[in-house]
Chain A
C-alpha cells in the first residue's frame, strides 16, 4: 500500500462524529473528524499516488477527475453544513497527517473563528442574470434589392438596438442585485462564467452570491423573483440555498 495523506473538506463548529454516518469521502473512504481546540476538521485518507504534488498537476487537467472530486467534496460539505456551522475548504486541500491538520487549524484559529461567526445560521444563494445574444438575422435576411442607404440605416438601427439591450440588461442586473442585497447580510460578486465552460450562449451580466439568514430565505427568494418579473428581457437564475462557500474566505 502506498503512502496516504489527509484530504480536508471543511472545518466545523458543533459537529459530532456520528453526524457524518452514512456519508463517505473520496473513493468511498470513511470520513473522520480531527478535533482541535473545539473545532472539527472533516477529513478522509487519500492516496499520495493520486493526491501528491505531481499527480495533482496531472489530475487537475482531467475534467472527469475534477468533476468526481468536486462532487464528493460538495456532498461532504453539504452534509457537514446540514448539521453544524461549517467553513468549507477550497478543493484539494491535502495535509500529510492528522498532526499537520491540527497544527494548521491552530495556526488559522482566529481566522476560522471569524469565518464561522460570519456564516453561523446563514446560507448562500446564487443569482445570475443572463442576456440572450441576438443573432444579426435581420441584416442577413435583408432583401438584395435594398439600397445602400437603407442597408446602412438598418445596420445603424440594429447597433442602437443592441446598445439599448445592453443598457436594459445592466439596469436589470443592478436592480436585481439591489433587491437581493436588501434581503442579505453580505454579498459577493463572482466573475461571469466563461461561456466555453458553462456551454451557454447568453452573456452573463451578473454572477453574485448572497449570504442569507436562515429565517430570511423565503423573503429573499420571493423578493428576487418578484423583481425578475419586471425584467422579462433577461434570464434570471436563482439557486440555493448553498453552504456558505463564497463567504468562507479568510481575511
Chain B
C-alpha cells in the first residue's frame, strides 16, 4: 500500500476536555425531548437544527477573532 498518511488513535475520558462540537453532538441531536413550555411554541423538535445553521456562521466569525481558542 502506498498511502503514508499520518495516523493516530486517541482515547479521552471525562467531561472536562470535551470539545464544544462533541458536546453539541450529544446535547442537540439526542436526549429526551420533553416539550418544554417555552420551546414548544418555537419550532419544536426542529428548533435546534435551525439554530445550528446560524451557529455555523457565528463559529466562523468567532474563530477569526484573535485570541480565541479554536474549538
Contact = CB atoms under 8 A, between A and B. Distances in A.
Interface of A: 5, 8, 11, 48, 51-53, 56-57, 60-63, 66-67, 70-71, 73-75, 78, 87-96, 100, 104-105, 108, 111-112, 115, 126, 131-132, 134, 161, 164-165, 168, 188, 190-191, 193-194, 196-199, 207, 209, 221, 225, 228-229, 231-242, 245-250
A191 B25 CA distance: 8
Contacts, number: 190
Contact of A236 (B9, B37, B60): B9
A90 B71 contact: no
Contacts of B30: 88, 90, 188, 245-249
Contact of A238 (B6, B11, B20, B35): B11
Given A165-B3, A193-B21, A196-B59, A89 B26 contact: no
Interface residues of B, number: 50
Contact of A239 (B8, B11, B27, B32): B11
A237 B7 CA distance: 11
B3 A168 contact: yes
B62 A63 contact: yes
Given A165-B3, A233-B5, A242-B26, 17 more contacts: A5-B37, A11-B32, A52-B38, A61-B51, A63-B20, A74-B15, A90-B33, A94-B36, A94-B39, A193-B21, A225-B11, A228-B9, A233-B1, A235-B7, A235-B10, A245-B26, A246-B30
B42 interface: yes
A161 B25 CA distance: 32
A95 B36 contact: yes
B34 A89 contact: yes
Nearest to A9: B31
Given A67-B20, A74-B18, A239-B13, A91 B27 contact: yes
Contacts of B1: 168, 233
B13 A245 contact: no
A74 B27 contact: yes
Contacts of A5: 37-38
A232 to B, nearest CB: 4
Contacts of B6: 132, 235
A217 to B, nearest CB: 10
Interface of B: 1-3, 5-13, 15, 18-39, 41-42, 47-48, 51, 54-56, 58-60, 62-63, 70-71
* Listed residue (A51, A63, A236, A249) with the most chain B CB atoms within 10 angstroms of its CB: A63
B31 A190 contact: no
B32 A90 contact: yes
Contacts of B12: 237-239
